[in-house]
Amino acid sequence: MPTPNLIPVAELEARVTRIFEAAGVRPESAASVARVIVAGERDACKSHGIYRIEGCLKVLAAGKAAGDAVPQVHDSGRAVIEVDAGGGFSNPAFDAARPLLAARARETGIAALVIRDCLHFSALWHEVETLAGEGLAALSMCPSYAFVAPAGGKEPLLGTNPFAFGWPRQGEHPYVFDFATSMAARGEIELHRRAGKPIPEGWAVDADGNPTTDPEVALAGAMLPFGAHKGSAISTMVELLSGAMLGEFMSREALDFMGGGGLLPRHGALILALDPQVFAARSGRDPIAEGEKLLSAFGAQGARLPSQRRFAARAASLAGGIPLTDAELAQIERFEAEGLAAPGA
Ligand code: NDP
Ligand code: PYC
């Protein structure tokens, strides 16, 4: 195993920010996008780390995303806050509206953020983790592209539709889970294809509905929901709540709008923030202390909490730098020198 290059988190963030600025993304948005991409790499979430730079640059180069869009926050004073991403990235839109979302949730107990017309490439954990870090419980979800067959079917209809939850903890990292409602994220299958590795059984079927472990065949066929009919139903809920309910694209329309899955999708997103203190106020109990009784019992039976692996990877990256292979570092250098025109980019 070759020794990886260890890049300090702040250095990688600055370099990725410059790559996006050079591609015409406004500085605030470039910083916001770079933060999320580098956080993915820092936390060893490779399917939404630096591998996503290329996809983002491609959609900008195709003129299908607005790097210069300035997110517009619309506040009617009610529980539902809207931010229009104007065809730009979801991340700066979230950053622009987050303080208002958190304040409204504390005021009323519950508030929702609707992100409209955004380019969405990222993991969701950073959103719920940020809100949980502010003492709020949070849910985040969005459609993606119709790559996933419903349980019992064989044709793509649902998206890989990520779903994330965060819960605040005292003196600990928040409890956070974040997953695709398909067996794996599509990015994970693409990384298997690039590495020439088969995918595990049960992730996908070919175009005729037969099981496959060939990532290429899987990408051309249909991915499968996790947990059979249960995952299929949760994925459907994500389509309805963060697509139909918002008046934004569902995964099938998102795919049609972009003319296929070659470019990252544009659609809406829904983030809910809840203040546990408001919900528990009349009970006289401390919701965070009550939650701890559950969460602190996992380790005793050898179970781990979701995000525990991620937080351990984060600690290692912060202490020693983010490990990148020679090929990954060379690609960053090529993007810095030539942007998307870089040979082999
Ligand atoms: P994983 O299956 O890798 O992980 C899902 C969650 O389960 C994580 O919180 C993970 O924590 C936790 N987990 C994994 N193993 C265990 C275990 N043994 N015990 C307890 N918890 C565990 O995620 P996916 O491949 O489904 O999704 C990866 C990412 O892709 C997500 O961040 C998602 O948001 C993103 N995505 C984005 C899409 C988009 O449209 N923008 C579409 C689809 C996915 P840990 O990280 O610590 O292992
Ligand atoms: O990995 O499934 C995925 C995905 C779709 C859009 C962004 N990530």
Q: How far apart are CA 345 and CA 340, in angstroms?
A: 6
DSSP states of 241-308 as a string?
IIIITTTS--HHHHHHHHTSTTS--EEEEEEEEE-HHHHHGGGTS-HHHHHHHHHTTTGGGT---TTH
C-beta of 291 in contact with ligand 1 (< 6 A)? no
Q: How far is the CA of 34 from the centre of ligand 2 (A)?
A: 17
The reply to whether the predicted model has a pTM over 0.85 is: yes
CA neighbor of 168 nearest in space, from 279, 326, 51: 279
Q: How far apart are CA 114 and CA 116, in angstroms?
A: 6
State which of 148, 251, 264 you would mutate to test the pocket of ligand 2, scoring each by most atoms of that ligand within 8 A of its C-beta. Answer: 264
C-beta of 124 in contact with ligand 1 (< 6 A)? yes
* pLDDT tens readout for residues 7-43: 999 999 999 999 999 999 999 999 999 999 999 999 9
Active-site positions read: 47-48, 188
Instruction: Please name the residue that has the structure tokens 């600055």.
Output: 14
pLDDT at residue 345, rounded to an integer: 46
The domains found in the chain, sorted by start residue, are 1-61+307-345 (1.10.1530.10), 72-182+225-306 (3.30.1370.60)
| pLDDT of residue 344 exceeding 60 | no
CA neighbor of 167 nearest in space, from 6, 345, 307: 307
C-beta of 178 in contact with ligand 1 (< 6 A)? yes
What percentage of residues in the chain have a pLDDT greater than 90?
A: 94
What's the average model confidence in pLDDT over 178-204? 95
pLDDT at residue 260, rounded to an integer: 85
Atom of ligand 2 nearest to the CA of 121: 7
Backbone φ, ψ for residue 320 (5° rounding): -120, -5
> Which residue type does 118 have?
C
